[in-house]
């Protein structure tokens, strides 16, 4: 793979910027919410991908979704955490990108999300792309091309 330092924004693809699946914390569809909450709290992430048993991407689950689901009238009904499974609560409307999508597609996709999932044509999970990774590249581009922006200002 090319060193991403040598690539211009136009050459960058999702595969250059993503966190690969083996480094991504995830939960499975039939895990109880208790397990999902444990992963989220221990990892410090606000949300993680949900995969099925064949490692296909199915959605995401976050702390807010879980806590809202067990929120009763006067208290959190924590006993429900072991009774409800992840697939009942997860968000299924997260957009995905493909490994070969270009930088501009990635930029557009992460505008509304802290991260999106990278999925192949058969729905298998390849990794995640964070808004942080995209913004780092935009920051680098603007610094390297500072002169260009100063020129436009005049
Ligand atoms: P960051 O840009 O590093 O703050 O990450 C934004 C969000 O992406 C985090 O809050 C998590 O929801 C998700 N995320 C980042 N890295 C990972 C990872 N290694 N495993 C699972 N989720 C992650």
Closest alpha carbon to 48 in 56, 37, 96 = 37
Q: Which pLDDT does position 5 carry in this prediction?
A: 67
Reported as a single tens digit per residue, the pLDDT across 34-77 is 999 999 999 999 999 999 999 999 999 999 999 999 999 999 99
Q: For ligand 1, is residue 115 a contact (CB within 6 Å)?
A: yes
pLDDT of 1 strictly over 70? no
How many CB atoms are located within 10 Å of the residue 144 CB?
A: 11
Q: CB of 45 closer than 6 A to ligand 1?
A: yes
Mean pLDDT of all residues in the chain? 93
Distance from Cα 106 to the centre of ligand 1, integer Å = 16
122 Cα distance to chain centroid: 18
Domains of the chain (ranges; CATH) run 4-153 (3.10.580.10)
∠ at Cα 43 (13, 72), nearest 5°? 115
User: Is the shortest distance between the CB of 23 and ligand 1 below 6 Å?
Assistant: yes
Q: Please indicate whether residue 136, judged by its CB atom, sits closer than 6 Å to ligand 1.
A: no
Helix locations, 44-130, DSSP H: 63-69, 103-110
Q: Whose CA is nearest to atom 8 of ligand 1?
A: 115
Mutate to test the pocket of ligand 1, among 42, 115, 135 (most ligand atoms within 8 A of CB): 115
pTM reported for the whole predicted model:
0.91
Spatial contact of 4 and 16, defined as CB atoms under 8 Å apart: yes
Helix 103-110, helix 131-144: angle, nearest 10: 120
């Amino acid at each position: 793979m090319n060193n991403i330092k040598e690539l211009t924004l136009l050459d960058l693809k999702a595969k250059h910027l993503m966190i690969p699946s083996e480094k991504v914390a995830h939960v499975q569809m039939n895990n109880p919410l208790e397990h999902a909450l444990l992963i989220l709290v221990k990892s410090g992430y606000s949300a993680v991908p949900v995969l099925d048993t064949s490692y296909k991407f199915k959605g995401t689950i976050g702390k807010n979704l879980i806590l809202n689901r067990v929120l009763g009238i006067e208290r959190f009904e924590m006993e429900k955490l072991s009774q409800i499974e992840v697939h009942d609560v997860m968000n299924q409307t997260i957009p995905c990108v493909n490994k070969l999508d270009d930088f501009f597609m990635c930029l557009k996709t992460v505008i509304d999300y802290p991260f999106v999932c990278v999925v192949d044509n058969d729905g298998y999970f390849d990794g995640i792309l964070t808004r942080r990774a995209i913004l780092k590249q935009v920051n680098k581009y603007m610094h390297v091309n500072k002169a260009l922006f100063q020129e436009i200002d005049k």
